[in-house]
Amino acid sequence: MSGQTIYADNAASTRLSAAAKAAMLPCFDLVYANPSAPHAMGRAAAAALTDARAQIAAALGCDPAELYFNSGGTEADAQALRTAAILGAQSGKRHIISTAFEHHAVLRTLDLLGQEGFEIELLAVPENGVVTAPQVAAAIRPDTCLVSVMFANNEIGTLQPVAEIGAVCRAAGVLFHTDAAQAAGQTPIDVRTQQIDLLSLSAHKFHGPKGVGALYARKGLCPVPLLAGGGQERGARPGTENLPGIVGMAAALAEATACLNETAAALTERRDWLIAGLSEIPQAVLNGDAERRLPGNVNFSFAGIEGEALLLLLDARGICASAGAACTAGAPEPSHVLLAIGRSPALARGALRLTLSADVTDAEIEAILRAVRETVALLRAAPGRNNQ
């Protein structure tokens, strides 16, 4: 964007990385054949697909055969939950455990499964936004078929104890799914040591292209297809593969993984600078644990402020931020995530989420701090505002 615009909405989507873009370009004018085609150009496309699969498998610590490419996080979540539910039902297990602050892709799919006769139990989320393994252990029953707990929350950025939850689930013989759309490329993932059975990825959250993602399903777990058609992705996901998208996703994830520690350190420093600066605003409450959160996530509630008004004024000053999830922007209901961690509806409506990438400069952090301070003061001073 122009030099005037500051982009602090990376949890909603990210800029395509130069490496991803460069990797994608040949797919448009050279390697454009159908990967299933039995000729030289088809074989070249199939080889590019194989390379991408190997790159992503290396980043997650899985086998390439355990990856199923699809259209993104929403689809991966739906397929993961349906697969575990159908497998569970086959052995009479219809109890599913998840949490109250999952992404809507998970919550809405669970609503549907609830209507189809599954018993959905959503764990309460502690005030710091970190669900615990003992909470999960206490909820597991003999008829539990699935535990789904997100790796990192998309609004407050809190990191869940995935390895501990994985251990609890593995010991109990219950499948464990984690939505890693926000975590991938930002925090280390290793599906083996973290004992994850099913994991959702979305490329556009880690500087890959939009409309592409993947489901990891542990060997032996065959994802139940959501669509009928050709035999792509071993029958689990019919439809001609989105080769440019998949190649871009692989390049983006490889790059993010290679410089993960470096990027995380730089982002954490700026995140904590923002948190310290915004904490000085009267009646500002940080949402989510101060340390156990994604390196680029800042989420505050300001008492007496409407988040939507704050966003509009920040937008007018060239700052792209969010009140919470991008998909709920404009909706009058307060964030289900903030309500889940015990914020009042009023405080939940006064939320501001700033999510950084390595592109955000020190000068931009200073500009954000100045703009938020001034705008909150302006809104609080405005006559006729709703006193809460």
Ligand X SMILES: *Cc1c(COP(=O)(O)O)cnc(C)c1O
- The residues of the shown chain that bind ligand X, judged by CB under 6 A, are 72-74, 77, 103, 105, 150, 154, 179, 181-182, 202, 205, 213
Q: How far is it, in rounded angstroms, from Cα 329 to Cα 140?
A: 35
Going edge to edge, which strands form the sheet with 144-148? 67-70, 213-217, 198-202, 175-179, 144-148, 95-99, 119-123
Q: Shortest approach of ligand X to residue 367 CB, angstroms? A: 26
Q: How far is it, in rounded angstroms, from Cα 174 to Cα 57?
A: 23
Residue given tokens 């000068």 in the structure block? 363
Q: Where are the beta strands (DSSP E) in the chain?
A: 6-7, 67-70, 95-99, 119-123, 144-148, 175-179, 198-202, 213-217, 284-286, 297-302, 319-320, 351-355
CB atoms within 10 A of CB 243: 24
- Closer to ligand X at the Cβ: 243 or 305? 243
Q: Please give the single-letter amino acid code of residue 327.
A: C
- Closer to ligand X at the Cβ: 79 or 154? 154
Q: Shortest approach of ligand X to residue 105 CB, angstroms? A: 4
Q: By C-alpha distance, which of 208, 182, 270, 246 is closest to 15?
A: 208
Catalytic residue check, 320: no
Residue given tokens 């300001």 in the structure block? 302
Q: Shortest approach of ligand X to residue 59 CB, angstroms? A: 17
What is the C-alpha R_g of the chain?
21
For Cα atoms 18, 20, 22, give the angle at the middle one, nearest 5 degrees. Answer: 65
Phi, psi dihedrals of residue 12, rounded to the nearest 5°: -85, -40
- Closer to ligand X at the Cβ: 214 or 311? 214
Annotated active-site residue in 169, 259, 320, 327? 327
- Closer to ligand X at the Cβ: 181 or 360? 181
Q: Shortest approach of ligand X to residue 79 CB, angstroms? A: 12
Q: How far is it, in rounded angstroms, from Cα 385 to Cα 109?
A: 38
Q: Shortest approach of ligand X to residue 155 CB, angstroms? A: 9
- Closer to ligand X at the Cβ: 66 or 155? 155
Q: How far is it, in rounded angstroms, from Cα 295 to Cα 24?
A: 28
Q: How far is it, in rounded angstroms, from Cα 84 to Cα 87?
A: 5
- Closer to ligand X at the Cβ: 154 or 232? 154
Q: How far is it, in rounded angstroms, from Cα 119 to Cα 144?
A: 9
- Closer to ligand X at the Cβ: 73 or 129? 73
Q: Which residues of 164-175 are buried (b: 16+ CB within 10 A; e: fewer)?
A: bbbbbbeeeebb
Q: Shortest approach of ligand X to residue 179 CB, angstroms? A: 5
Q: Shortest approach of ligand X to residue 14 CB, angstroms? A: 10
User: Which active-site residues does the annotation give?
Assistant: 327
